[in-house]
Amino acid sequence: MKRSLSALAAALFLAAAWVPAVESCPEGKCDPAKCAKMHQVGEQQHKCPGARAAEAAANENLVVDPVCGMKIDKGEAAAQVEYAGRTYYFCRLEGKETFLSDPDKYLAER
């Protein structure tokens, strides 16, 4: 009886620890329509190569407005300005004017 319970306990432990395979696409053979979503199983996450590339490109365009702290896409910024050799982007036109009134103040805050 003890041996049966030990075997049962071991089987239950192994079953609980087993995680099904995460769906993925072969490197370089992703269908963007299918791979744009993230596949998730339990605590594991996998992003197909096509989805990882799209996410990286999207994150590359995200910047923080130095006045309000909001994350915005460079392409959707209402205004931008060059200051000290760097380009800053703003979600509103007023943000640019506010920034230019005291740039060092806003750069120190972020």
| Region of 92 on the Ramachandran plot (φ > 0 left; ψ -120 to 50 alpha; else beta) | beta
Sequence-ordered list of residues with C-beta below 8 angstroms from that of 22, at least 6 positions apart, any chain: 39, 40, 41, 44, 45, 46
Q: Mean pLDDT throughout 45-66? A: 74
Phi–psi pair at 22, nearest 5 degrees: -90, 130
* Average pLDDT value over all residues in the chain: 74
d(CA 48, CA 110): 34
- 44-46/39-41 β-pairing: antiparallel
For 7-42, how does the pLDDT look when each residue is reduced to its tens digit (9 = 90+)? 655 555 555 444 444 455 655 566 655 555 545 444
How much is the pTM? 0.52
pLDDT tens digits for 68-77? 999 999 999 9
Structure-model confidence comparison of residues 64 and 40, the more confident one: 64
CA angle 11, 17, 23 (to 5 degrees): 125
